[in-house]
């Protein structure tokens, strides 16, 4: 998959997200940094509860205001997201950055038709009348390959199948021609055949419209199918990032290796899959040092003392392959070929 080369469209620097409750503070995202170029696709991969969806919602500031504390910096197309007031943020959502949510049945409004919801998104940001907005809505339903699109305009969400609801959700996200599309596990609730259709649709639309995209998934096979780069997330941190070929074919972090070993992709029928022992940590009581150490078969004392720094291991197509692991750091120091980056 070719990758656009340009100045970053999205820049995230040391993003931290905490949810403050009466009894505990949950550290959902812990120092995430990345950049995304126009036309590039970043896949964020990890188990449930690793902070993937929270990261995406933070990019649009969709997290509950009173309970959420966000630090760091988020810049999208020159907009400092964390500093925008409500009106400026509303102007950014839609034309600049839009989101496809995980479960369309809860994201779509059950009392309005699909056509009304698409037209509303258009008219919120553009000065056009209802007739023109409805015409655009029809074009969008055709773009996302909904059969009998004219008839579906007047359908309510409950009258559509899961796959058609997800296509309608994509149409709403594309209504204002965003530069960045955020896709939060858009195939989770769908059967295998429909999942493939939605993946192919998103990949095609991303290429044709030239959008940058961040695709969140727990499935490494899905991430490899649609992404230029992959970021593996655990306990709110990126533990390994790089070109999709590097991460899939030469995984360095034990967690990434565990995810690969527990997937059915590329495995012969009848082969016993390995599992990652234990369970993800409680984000309200993160362990000292590497959060994966309690589940890692290679853990040593140094892993439990401090969070490992990122180490660069070369990379493909000019994309650095970065891993946050003591073993990789020791191996790189012995070889004298890489330099640790800041934690």
CA dist 240 and 310 (Å) reads 8
Residue 195 or 270, more confident: 195
The helix (run of H) or strand (run of E) holding residue 117 is helix 114-125
Residue 207 · residue 242 · CB < 8 Å:
no
Q: How many CB atoms lie within 10 A of CB 257?
A: 17
Q: State pLDDT tens for residues 247-262.
A: 999 999 999 999 888 7
What is the arithmetic mean of pLDDT over 268-272?
Answer: 69
Nearest CA among 246, 266, 264 for reference residue 256: 246
Q: What's the pLDDT at 225? A: 84
Q: Which of 92-106, 183-197, 199-213 is predicted least confidently?
A: 183-197
Contact 246, 259 (CB under 8 A): no
Is the predicted pLDDT of residue 334 greater than 60, yes or no?
no
Phi, psi torsion values for 212, nearest 5 degrees:
-85, 150
Strand pairing category for 79-80 and 68-76: antiparallel
- Predicted TM-score (pTM) of this structure: 0.90
Q: Where are the domains of the chain?
A: 106-177
Contacts 24+ apart (CB under 8 A), 263-267: 263/219, 263/220, 263/221, 265/220, 265/221, 265/224
Average pLDDT over residues 260-285: 79
Average pLDDT, the chain: 90
Of the candidates 43, 157, 54, the one whose C-alpha atom is nearest the C-alpha of residue 107 is 157
Structure confidence at residue 111 (pLDDT): 95
What does DSSP assign to residue 4? -
Query: pLDDT grade, residue 223 (50/70/90)?
Result: confident
């Amino acid at each position: 998959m070719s990758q656009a080369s340009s100045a970053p469209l999205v820049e995230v620097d040391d993003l931290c997200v905490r949810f403050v409750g009466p009894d505990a503070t949950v550290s959902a995202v812990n120092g995430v940094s990345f950049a995304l170029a126009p036309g590039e696709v970043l896949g964020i991969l990890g188990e449930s509860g690793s902070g993937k969806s929270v990261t995406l919602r933070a990019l649009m500031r969709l997290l509950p205001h009173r309970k959420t504390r966000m630090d760091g910096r988020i810049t999208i197309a020159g907009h400092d997201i964390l500093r925008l007031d409500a009106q400026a943020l509303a102007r950014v959502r839609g034309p600049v950055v839009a989101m496809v949510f995980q479960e369309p049945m809860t994201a779509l409004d059950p009392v309005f038709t699909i056509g009304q919801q698409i037209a509303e998104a258009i008219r919120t940001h553009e000065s056009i009348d209802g007739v023109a907005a409805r015409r655009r809505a029809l074009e969008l339903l055709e773009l996302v390959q909904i059969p009998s699109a004219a008839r579906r305009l007047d359908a309510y969400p409950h009258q559509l199948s899961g796959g058609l609801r997800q296509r309608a959700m994509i149409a709403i996200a594309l209504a204002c021609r965003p530069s960045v599309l955020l896709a939060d596990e858009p195939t989770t609730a769908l059967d295998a055949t429909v999942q493939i259709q939605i993946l192919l649709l998103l990949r095609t639309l991303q290429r044709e419209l030239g959008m940058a995209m961040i695709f969140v998934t727990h499935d490494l096979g899905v991430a490899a199918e649609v992404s230029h780069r992959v970021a593996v997330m655990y306990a709110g941190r990126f533990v390994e990032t790089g070109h999709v070929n590097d991460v899939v074919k030469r995984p360095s972090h034990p967690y990434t290796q565990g995810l690969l070993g527990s997937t059915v992709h590329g495995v012969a029928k009848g082969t016993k899959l390995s599992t990652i022992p234990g369970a993800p940590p409680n984000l309200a009581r993160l362990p000292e040092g590497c959060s994966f150490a309690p589940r890692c078969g290679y853990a040593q004392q140094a892993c439990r003392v401090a969070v490992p720094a990122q180490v660069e291991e070369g990379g493909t197509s000019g994309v650095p392959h970065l891993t946050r692991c003591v073993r990789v750091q020791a191996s790189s120091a012995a070889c004298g070929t890489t330099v640790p980056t800041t934690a």
